[in-house]
């Protein structure tokens, strides 16, 4: 199998397969291809070829193209680290993360993946799980007081709302603004959204 071929060593034994390296190559290839072509424009065969792996390995390791897309999405998310930590600093960390995404000169692979794939019904289900598992639930877990889930959802609308604004209106006006001013304003918005 390509990517998993084992050669005989001096002892006559085959070295162990490097499953993790192959998985990483598949994830990297999938991320790049989904970012370039969108979910609908990518096949498992394309991913396997780019990763120099057998198609059967892609299916064995990930189960389906949809599951692979979900794993790429979860692995590329920086939000997990942003949300974790001291709850009192959460609004500021969320604001700083948002501003980092705005001032970036080019979209991240994850941003390109989402922009080019969001219309697919399978991707919609993956995004719903991602939103729940990677953003809403971790945010709600950080919050004390009543209606933690509702407050987490409100903050999520600020986080996720940046995508449609970026796609429809562009980010030039936000990029032209002072980053520290944007961070302060967003911190106030996240503080208000997350407050009990």
The answer to whether position 6 is within a domain reads: no
The answer to whether position 3 is within a domain reads: no
The answer to whether position 158 is within a domain reads: yes
The answer to whether position 144 is within a domain reads: yes
CATH at residue 45 = 1.10.10.60
pLDDT in tens, 10-38: 444 444 468 889 999 999 999 999 999 99
pLDDT at 167: 72
The total number of structural domains in the chain stands at 2
Q: Which two tokens stand for residue 119?
A: 């219309």
The answer to whether position 9 is within a domain reads: no
pLDDT in tens, 154-175: 999 998 877 777 777 778 888 8
Q: What is the domain extent for residue 120? A: 77-194
The answer to whether position 12 is within a domain reads: no
Count of residues in the chain:
196
Give 114's pLDDT tier (boundaries 50, 70, 90).
Answer: confident
Looking at the structure, do residues 89 and 45 belong to the same domain, yes or no?
Answer: no
d(CA 194, CA 196): 7
pLDDT at 127: 87
Higher pLDDT pick, 90 / 20: 90
Q: Indicate the pTM of the whole model.
A: 0.76
**Can you spell out the DSSP letters for 8-42?**
--TTSPPPPP-HHHHHHHHHHHHHHHHHHHTTTT-
CATH at residue 86 = 1.10.357
């Amino acid at each position: 199998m390509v990517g998993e071929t084992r050669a005989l060593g001096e002892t006559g034994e085959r070295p162990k397969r490097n499953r993790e390296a192959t998985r990483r190559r598949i994830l990297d290839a999938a991320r790049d291809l989904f970012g370039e072509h969108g979910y609908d424009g990518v096949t498992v065969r394309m991913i396997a070829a780019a990763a120099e792996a057998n198609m059967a390995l892609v299916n064995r390791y990930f189960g389906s193209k949809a599951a692979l897309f979900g794993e790429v999405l979860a692995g590329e998310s920086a939000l997990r680290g942003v949300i974790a930590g001291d709850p009192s600093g959460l609004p500021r960390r969320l604001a700083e993360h948002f501003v980092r995404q705005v001032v970036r000169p080019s979209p991240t692979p994850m941003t390109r993946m989402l922009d080019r794939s969001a219309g697919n019904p399978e991707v919609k289900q993956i995004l719903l799980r991602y939103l729940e598992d990677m953003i809403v639930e971790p945010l709600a877990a950080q919050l004390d007081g009543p209606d933690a889930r509702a407050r987490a959802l409100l903050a999520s609308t600020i986080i996720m709302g940046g995508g449609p604004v970026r796609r429809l209106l562009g980010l030039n006006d936000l990029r032209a603004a002072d980053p520290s001013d944007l961070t302060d304003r967003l911190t106030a918005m996240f503080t208000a959204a997350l407050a009990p």
